[in-house]
Structure formats: C-alpha cells, structure tokens
Amino acid sequence: MRRVPLLAFALPLAAGLAAIAVQPAVAAVPSAGTDLFGGYSFTHAGEANLHGWGLSASHPFRGSLRLLADVSGHYGSFAGADLSQLGVLAGARYGWGEGRLRPFADALLGGVRTSVKVGAGETSVSDADTDWGVAFGGGVDYGLSHSWALRGLFHLRLLKGEGSWDTDPRISIGVAYRPRR
C-alpha cells in the first residue's frame, strides 16, 4: 500500500482555508443552490492524449466557497495499448463575480484509476493502478440564462504513482446547470 505524502493533503486544505480567510475582503456572490456540470474532457497522461467526459457538482458552503465533487473518464490508445482513466476528486471551489462571466478556482484531492490493456482476445495482458494526488485549477462560467452557463475549466493533476510524481493537465468544456431557488 502506498503512502500519500502529507503535502498532498496539506495543499488543498491550505487553499480552502485561505479562501475562507480572505472571504470578508471579497464581495460575496449569492450562494445559489447546487450546480451540476457535464461535458467533454481531454487529458494528456504521460505520452498519451486521452478524450472523454467530465461530471461535477458543487454545493454552497460559506459565502463564495463551495464544496466540490468531480468525476471524469478518459480513453485512448498509445503504442499499441488501450488506456482508460477514471478520476474521482473532491475539494473546494472559490468563485468571484455576479455577472455573465463568473471565474472560479479549484483545489481537489483524490485518485485516478488507470487501466492498460495490450493485445486482443486470450493473448491480451491487462494492468490497473490507482494513483493518489491533488489537482489545482479553475475556469469560468459564461451565463446563458439564470440557470444555464457554458463552462470551461483547466486542472493540473499531480499524481503520485510508482515512486514519482506525474503531471496530467486536463481541459474540460461543457454546460453547467444551477436550479432556480
């Protein structure tokens, strides 16, 4: 069993506490209800370009700070191997602004399960591994209506696997829905 370094837990916690600490100095955004996001996602894992989907939900916590859950799946092939990744992350989101453009920053902690399959049929070889880590990033919502927005986001995932740290950038674009209250 791998041990996750203390730094992997400390960085998202510090980012969340910093967001709470500076909150009174920033104009509070009305904390609408839970928002849901779904869309296309791309990641560059090692030497492979993987395409897939991203889903997330955030819920108001305190002022402009929201609790965030993020799940993504990416698929592709590289050097004759079929690759797939399933990421499950949770953390905090801090947002600014009330207008049509609403930027935000994220700090997440979780894991990514990577599966590799080489060959076909009875001669195929498969392997899977879960890497733990953190993701930092942010994005912007472009409001289409009171409840709907286009969202673009970027995360840099720092994953600890097999004795080294991997950096996997991820870009997602899709729609966000926040029900009217």
Residue 171: closest CA among 9, 80, 40: 40
- Count of CA atoms in the C-beta half-sphere (13 A) of 54: 25
Checking DSSP bridges between strand 101-118 and strand 81-95, what pairing results, if any? antiparallel
What are the pLDDT digits (tens) for 49-102?
Answer: 999 999 999 999 999 999 999 999 999 998 888 999 999 999 999 999 878 999
Give dist(CA 48, CA 79) in Å, integer: 9
Domain carrying residue 96: 52-118+125-130+137-166
Within a 10 A sphere around the Cβ of 65, how many other Cβ atoms?
Answer: 20
Domain assignment present for residue 178? The answer is: no
pLDDT value at residue 83: 93
Are the C-beta atoms of residues 136 and 15 closer than 8 Å to each other?
Answer: yes
Domain assignment present for residue 68? The answer is: yes
- Mean pLDDT by 10-residue block, N- to C-terminus, for the chain (181 residues)? 41 44 39 88 92 97 95 93 94 90 96 89 83 95 94 94 86 93 64
pLDDT value at residue 122: 74
Domain assignment present for residue 79? The answer is: yes
pLDDT value at residue 181: 64
Domain assignment present for residue 150? The answer is: yes
pLDDT value at residue 15: 46
Query: How many structural domains is the chain composed of?
Result: 1
Which residues, 6+ apart, have CB-to-CB distance to 122 below 8 Å?
none
